[in-house]
Chains A and B, each alone.
Chain A
Amino acid sequence: MKSEIDLIKEIEAYLFKEMDAKQAADFEDERISNPSFDKKVTEHFNFLQSLKSYGDKKALKIQMGKIHEEIDLDALKEEFNKAPSKIISFWRKTKRSLAVAASIAILFTLSTLYFTGQFDGQNHVSNYSELKRDMETIKRSQRALINNINSSSNQPSDNSQYGGTGFALSSNGYLVTNYHVVKGADSVYVQNGKGESFKVETIYIDPTYDIAILQIIDPLFKNLSPLPYTFKKSNADLGEDVYTIGYPKDDIVYGKGYLSSSTGYGGDSTAYQISIPVNPGNSGGPLMDNKGNVIGIVSGKQTQADGAAFAVKSDFLLKCIGNIPQDSLKEKININKKNTLAGLNRTAQIKKMQDYIFIVKVYN
């Protein structure tokens, strides 16, 4: 076995013709008879070839470098000055990408506007009015679930401006709703499930608790049968099953959830936080527990969070009622003490309650 260096010597001796005829013939014979030898010879030839072309290329580069220096680049620059400016050539080169980018941006903006409801004029107005209330720092009204039935203010007065829900406090025509529902109203009507409307008068308001007490003053109104539900004086417990019935639309809607916090918006201790689906128009509806007790008045929801609604605690409603100067009342408010819902299942409870829940229509 020849060493690597001997092999190189032999190959080069052959290559540079330093071998005599006999040696050269032996070399050629070995290439034929010994494939591994032949492979090494070929490899060495190729290597020398690479070395040679490396040298050629390097020389060529040096040569070109010299020639390049002779070229008058300034003259070239001058000659091709007619060429478009950088900005124009940038535009040319990128116009396609720019067009794509621009269309995507437009599409994205439009779809964002669409999905966030910015194209919906009504929504826009009601979002704006909520913000306005915010700035007036009427804390409760800011979370109001006012159902903006008609957004234009120059409508004829027979169209109600806002809607909400109200429910009976006593069988002789006293109702409760949220203060924000009736705030600023010229006249207020309530409508029952049968479609009968009655004119009501606001006899007491408490903006702090967002409570308004209404009395039906319509001669057509006949006293209701005794109320089936009672009002809870103590606080309801966290996690309790609750439900509400209201008028977020023209038909009565049931919503079910649970009591998720014993304080309301921003830690407000006069309200509960409830996880319940509520919508504008639910304001003023009763918040009921399983046994048919009113534990609160649905008053609003947090716009930035899902599943966070609020209800004024029922004991504040009772306090309000107690605060009404008795001499201003034409009739006594008799708070019902007898609960006839307790043993009933949910559907039966709802059926019995329906007649005591009203749409509140506000005109101004």
Chain B
Amino acid sequence: MSSKTNYFKPTDNEIILGILNNSSSTLQYLYKAYFPMVYQLIVNNSGSEDDAKDVYQEGIIILHDKIKSGDFELTSKLKTFLYSVCRRLWLKRLNHKSRYNENINDYEDHFSVEQDLVSHEEKDQQFVMMDSALQQLGEPCKTIIEDFYIHNKSMQDISEKFGYTNADNAKTQKYKCLQRLKKLFFSKENI
């Protein structure tokens, strides 16, 4: 996070490159650059400050996933994409609150992002399911799984952290945990 980024305005392509490389300064720039736009949209269309935050963060996640998945083609400005996504997300929420009104006050150009939202909803559902499965898994399994599969820690580190006599014992424990987690995750899906 160099202070330079505050003075230099990255292009859309540079932002995409930064996201692909997990650059936290790029994310910071992106987030701060367009939050006011979405804030204006939500707050002036019967939303609260928290609504603006939730919708915007969901929008950033959608953009982030789209870039990461590699199928992001820059056919529009990132700004327009973000605005369109957040606009659609907010309309959906208004609809849920039965206050849906096509006469939303618009501040930017926008286009249809239905396909992006559909794939986002699938992913979001998986996220919720995984979260719930991990909560049910309990400790120490949850942390072992997170450390190994998400934080990419070595089995050596994990066995030390949890006091296993050797890495093999820790590995066996990890497999048992993963098996349970799979059961929890897939049983959820069938409900």
Task: Give residues in A with beta carbon < 8 Å to B.
Answer: 4-5, 8-9, 12, 44, 47-48, 50-61, 63-64, 67-68, 70-71, 73, 76, 79-80, 83-84, 89-90, 92-94, 96-97
Contacts and interface: CB of A to CB of B under 8 A. Distances in A.
Contact of A54 (B27, B49, B131, B175): B131
A51 B137 CA distance: 13
B149 A55 contact: yes
Contacts of A53: 65, 123, 126-127
B150 A51 contact: yes
B36 A76 contact: yes
A170 to B, nearest CB: 77
A66 to B, nearest CB: 9
A153 to B, nearest CB: 56
Contacts of B39: 76, 80
B179 A4 contact: yes
A8 B176 CA distance: 9
B130 A51 contact: yes
Interface string B17-47: 0000000100110011001100110011110
Interface residues of B, number: 43
A68 B149 contact: no
B13 interface: no
Interface string B120-158: 000100110011001000000000011001110000000
Contact of B105 (A44, A56, A89, A96): A89
Contacts of B179: 4-5, 8
A89 B44 contact: yes
A71 B126 CA distance: 30
Nearest to B19: A60
Interface in B35-74: 35-36, 39-40, 43-46, 49, 53, 57, 60-61, 64-65, 68
Q: Tell me if B's interface is mostly helix, strand, loop or mixed.
A: helix
A238 to B, nearest CB: 58
Given A60-B61, A80-B39, A50 B178 contact: no
A322 B151 CA distance: 115
Contact of B64 (A54, A60, A80): A60
Contacts of B178: 8
Contact of A80 (B44, B60, B103, B150): B44
B140 to A, nearest CB: 17
Contacts of B61: 57, 60-61
A52 B127 CA distance: 10
Contact of A48 (B24, B40, B149, B175): B149
B185 interface: yes
A59 B57 CA distance: 12
B99 interface: yes
B24 to A, nearest CB: 6
B182 interface: yes
A73 B39 CA distance: 9
Interface string B149-191: 1110000000000000000000000011011011001000000
A142 to B, nearest CB: 51
Given A54-B127, A64-B60, A70 B32 contact: yes
A72 to B, nearest CB: 10
B148 to A, nearest CB: 10
B101 interface: yes
Most buried by A among B24, B57, B131: B57
19 contacts: A9-B175, A50-B185, A54-B126, A54-B127, A54-B130, A55-B150, A59-B150, A64-B57, A67-B27, A67-B32, A68-B35, A70-B32, A71-B32, A76-B35, A79-B36, A80-B40, A89-B46, A92-B105, A93-B45
Most buried by A among B27, B36, B105, B150: B150
A158 to B, nearest CB: 66
| The 5 residue pairs across chains A and B that have the minimum distance between CB atoms | A55-B150, A54-B130, A67-B31, A83-B44, A51-B149
